[in-house]
A and B are shown apart, each in its own frame.
Chain A
């Protein structure tokens, strides 16, 4: 019964979405306030129906209702509760319901909190948002219905893919989807602006918080995925330039560009058509990402193997939305009036350069991901494009971009003096040089690029902090005045500093792991010792252990520093009872300076085991940097100027005071 309710709610949501896609738009074209106003309850009700459907599916999972085919395929009674819940989106159908839930949630947010928006704009935005909803609801109902029943119901489910039974992977998809779908908001605003033929700073102010929120969640979502790959796949890698990783990276890069160019629209009323294009591209790439993962055209660990019918359906959606949006753009964008002029060397100029590099980097990833597919389709030749290609093309672009990052915030709007900006970055440059010299001495040489990149990391971190110090006039005025300035600085300024410094921290981690990772692969017998990074690793032995729905062979290791025990580590090979699949559970001990990473391999003919031990210097910095970027976004989002409806509330208060 519950499953049927869920199914029914989904169909109702579809009907509402159809209504919402047409009527408010018609109202906006005719300037009819009644028709426009219908968008609000429609968006709210649509969200509630999808929520009901989502909860129905979750209920089926929690109660292990195997009469629902989707639950039977992806769940198991022995699974811990949290993985029963995360199992809802651990498969194609359920993840689509989650996707649409987030989409309608954003729509409902605009409907509920968007009373400060002009009526016409809100109606159009919600209509566009509903059009996306129509397409994907139809997709779910026709090709990926999660509520199909089985008769007779099996007694036991087939279990979740064991790789997915993991805390990071349980929350990775929702975070990623909030990011992907968050860009739908920027998209809807862009399309609405094109229909209206008007883009102004107010529009940018509305789009920015949505973009920022989407970007933040995409950042942690991607970081979470890479962290998972790091500790779960068992060879210490954290990014593989896998097609699916790439398809989440592309919207992130364009989203970053959009975030920066929207600032120019807001502050200077320039770069309007470009910003609109980026908004369209960011969501288009999110859609392409969805397509790549689900169609099965690219093989990847993450891909849900699905039948091609779904792929064709999503391809259709893709063509309609991307093609339609770009056609509308080609038709309407030339009519948008460009705004403020600026000299090439200026804040605007810096942001344009940022956009140029980011879009080129994104194009590199795009071409690298799809080229083998297209080439095979056209000529039949099979080639591979992997990490070495991206290292040779993407990385240089990003290095140049990152070199320029600290400079940007020092450039004033309209016209800037590059020498003055460089002078203010003197301290950061000196720090970077010292760091490079120290690294050179410490590692006794080493790859030139790696030493340079360590300098780059420091350049980014100190450069970001220098800008903050400059703005609050640190060391130039008495401390009291500095403190006052610091308090009055808008939160978005702190957000930017944090985000840029976070990139620097991440660079340090990436470089150190790539260049100075230590690796030992050896056969070890119990009580054997091995020396790595100044520590002695002792292999104690292997013992079995029973988990709720798996069995572990736990290898026990002791890490010693001379006679002092640092840590006892347990690296396991896990076998799942339901389907006999195996995963590795690496043992990781994190120091401030890096990760000690131990993996238990196969048992040899005698009592020895193959053991791989890594020391990954500064590895945690990679995810720590991403976290700092996220926090930067959060701080920026809490800035009063972005808070939805803030000016209106202030007015209401004055009104109340006047009445009293």
Chain B
């Protein structure tokens, strides 16, 4: 376990200082459409040993492996979701840069819409309260004469 950690640390260091070169020329598929799909997929997968980089941006060996796996699955005729399922089954949900909508990520995905809704409702209520607020009582006769005096 400890050795694994050391290896991870070394990889982490290596990945952060070696010039980033991401995918290599030899990885590119001949089929342009498949290659485009492969690129799309590699932007949503995380390089596991890097700091918040997609495998598309990373030059770590592991990222390269993942890129090759994607291309292999694609040439075998997998659809995009199938490729993602395959990778997630192997490496866990951690590889997805965009987490799936599931009970444990509800709070993540729904915070913004709910906040927007609460804000909108709040504004609406405030407006109604303002509209229903009783207007200030009209000026009394004495006040009116006083005002007139002040204005003249």
- Residues on A close to B: CB < 8 A? 162-163, 233-235, 237, 240-243, 299-301, 341, 344, 352, 356-357, 359-361, 363-364, 367-368, 371, 375, 379, 381-389, 392-393, 397, 521-523, 573, 581-584, 599, 601-602, 610, 612
In the bound complex, CA of A241 to CA of B44 (Å): 13
Whether A383 and B94, one on each chain, are in contact in the complex, defined by CB atoms closer than 8 angstroms, is: yes
In the bound complex, CA of A233 to CA of B95 (Å): 22
A242-B52, A388-B97 in contact; A612/B21 too (CB < 8 A)? yes
Residues from chain A with Cβ under 8 Å of B10 in the complex: none
Residues from chain A with Cβ under 8 Å of B119 in the complex: 356, 359-360
Whether B111 and A364, one on each chain, are in contact in the complex, defined by CB atoms closer than 8 angstroms, is: yes
Whether A301 and B51, one on each chain, are in contact in the complex, defined by CB atoms closer than 8 angstroms, is: yes
Residues from chain B with Cβ under 8 Å of A240 in the complex: 52-53
A352-B123, A388-B43 in contact; A363/B19 too (CB < 8 A)? no
Closest to B56 in A: A235
Residues from chain B with Cβ under 8 Å of A300 in the complex: 51-52
Closest to B117 in A: A360
Residues from chain A with Cβ under 8 Å of B20 in the complex: 233-235, 584
Whether B24 and A301, one on each chain, are in contact in the complex, defined by CB atoms closer than 8 angstroms, is: no
Whether A385 and B92, one on each chain, are in contact in the complex, defined by CB atoms closer than 8 angstroms, is: no
Residues from chain B with Cβ under 8 Å of A242 in the complex: 51-52
B102-143 CB contacts (< 8 Å) to partner A? 104-105, 107-109, 111-112, 115-116, 119-120, 123, 127, 130
Closest to A584 in B: B19
Given A240-B53, A599-B21; 5 other pairs, CB 8 A cutoff? A364-B112, A386-B98, A389-B98, A521-B22, A602-B21
Residues from chain A with Cβ under 8 Å of B18 in the complex: 582
In the bound complex, CA of A582 to CA of B17 (Å): 6
Residue of B46, B52, B98, B130 near A341 (CB, 8 A) is B130
A344-B127, A583-B19, A584-B20 in contact; A384/B111 too (CB < 8 A)? no
Whether A382 and B51, one on each chain, are in contact in the complex, defined by CB atoms closer than 8 angstroms, is: no
Closest to B16 in A: A301
Q: What are 13 A-B contacts defined by CB distance under 8 Å?
A: A234-B20, A235-B21, A356-B123, A363-B115, A364-B112, A367-B111, A382-B94, A383-B104, A384-B94, A388-B97, A388-B98, A599-B21, A610-B24
In the bound complex, CA of A363 to CA of B16 (Å): 29
Closest to A162 in B: B17
Whether B115 and A581, one on each chain, are in contact in the complex, defined by CB atoms closer than 8 angstroms, is: no
Residue of A301, A382, A392, A523 near B98 (CB, 8 A) is A392
- Residues on B close to A: CB < 8 A? 16-25, 28, 43-44, 46, 51-54, 57, 92-99, 104-105, 107-109, 111-112, 115-116, 119-120, 123, 127, 130
Shortest CB distance B135–A (Å) = 10
Residues from chain B with Cβ under 8 Å of A584 in the complex: 19-20
Closest to A233 in B: B20
A360-B115, A367-B108 in contact; A243/B19 too (CB < 8 A)? no
Residue of B99, B104, B116, B127 near A384 (CB, 8 A) is B99
Residues from chain A with Cβ under 8 Å of B92 in the complex: 382
Closest to B17 in A: A581
Whether B25 and A521, one on each chain, are in contact in the complex, defined by CB atoms closer than 8 angstroms, is: yes
Shortest CB distance B40–A (Å) = 10
In the bound complex, CA of A364 to CA of B21 (Å): 31
Residue of B53, B94, B95, B99 near A389 (CB, 8 A) is B99
Whether A363 and B43, one on each chain, are in contact in the complex, defined by CB atoms closer than 8 angstroms, is: no
Residue of B25, B109, B115 near A522 (CB, 8 A) is B25
Shortest CB distance B7–A (Å) = 16
Whether B52 and A383, one on each chain, are in contact in the complex, defined by CB atoms closer than 8 angstroms, is: no
In the bound complex, CA of A581 to CA of B23 (Å): 21
Residue of B21, B107, B120 near A356 (CB, 8 A) is B120
Q: Which of A242, A386, A522 has the most CB of B within 10 A?
A: A386
Residues from chain B with Cβ under 8 Å of A386 in the complex: 44, 46, 52, 54, 97-98
In the bound complex, CA of A359 to CA of B25 (Å): 43
In the bound complex, CA of A367 to CA of B57 (Å): 24
Closest to B116 in A: A360
Shortest CB distance A487–B (Å) = 35
In the bound complex, CA of A163 to CA of B98 (Å): 29
A382-B92, A522-B25 in contact; A389/B97 too (CB < 8 A)? yes
In the bound complex, CA of A344 to CA of B93 (Å): 44
In the bound complex, CA of A8 to CA of B123 (Å): 53
Whether A367 and B52, one on each chain, are in contact in the complex, defined by CB atoms closer than 8 angstroms, is: no
Shortest CB distance B139–A (Å) = 19
A371-B108, A381-B93, A384-B97 in contact; A599/B19 too (CB < 8 A)? yes
A234-B19, A360-B112, A612-B21 in contact; A299/B51 too (CB < 8 A)? yes
Residues from chain B with Cβ under 8 Å of A341 in the complex: 130
In the bound complex, CA of A283 to CA of B105 (Å): 28
Closest to B23 in A: A521
Q: Which of B21, B24, B44, B54 has the most CB of A within 10 A?
A: B21
Whether B57 and A235, one on each chain, are in contact in the complex, defined by CB atoms closer than 8 angstroms, is: yes
In the bound complex, CA of A628 to CA of B53 (Å): 30
Residues from chain B with Cβ under 8 Å of A521 in the complex: 22-25, 28
Shortest CB distance B42–A (Å) = 11
Whether B19 and A383, one on each chain, are in contact in the complex, defined by CB atoms closer than 8 angstroms, is: no
Closest to A366 in B: B111
Residues from chain B with Cβ under 8 Å of A375 in the complex: 104-105, 108
Residues from chain A with Cβ under 8 Å of B107 in the complex: 367, 371
In the bound complex, CA of A12 to CA of B3 (Å): 48
Whether B44 and A388, one on each chain, are in contact in the complex, defined by CB atoms closer than 8 angstroms, is: yes
Whether A383 and B105, one on each chain, are in contact in the complex, defined by CB atoms closer than 8 angstroms, is: yes
In the bound complex, CA of A383 to CA of B17 (Å): 25
Closest to A611 in B: B25
Residues from chain A with Cβ under 8 Å of B93 in the complex: 381-383
Shortest CB distance B120–A (Å) = 7
* Nearest 5 Cβ contacts at the A-B interface: A386-B97, A388-B98, A584-B19, A601-B21, A356-B119
In the bound complex, CA of A341 to CA of B133 (Å): 11
In the bound complex, CA of A371 to CA of B22 (Å): 27
Residues from chain B with Cβ under 8 Å of A612 in the complex: 21-22
In the bound complex, CA of A255 to CA of B18 (Å): 37
Shortest CB distance A532–B (Å) = 15
In the bound complex, CA of A364 to CA of B116 (Å): 11
In the bound complex, CA of A88 to CA of B43 (Å): 37
Shortest CB distance B147–A (Å) = 21
Residues from chain B with Cβ under 8 Å of A393 in the complex: 109, 112
Shortest CB distance A464–B (Å) = 25
Whether A237 and B44, one on each chain, are in contact in the complex, defined by CB atoms closer than 8 angstroms, is: no
Residues from chain A with Cβ under 8 Å of B51 in the complex: 242, 299-301
Shortest CB distance A577–B (Å) = 14
Whether B25 and A387, one on each chain, are in contact in the complex, defined by CB atoms closer than 8 angstroms, is: no
Shortest CB distance A588–B (Å) = 15
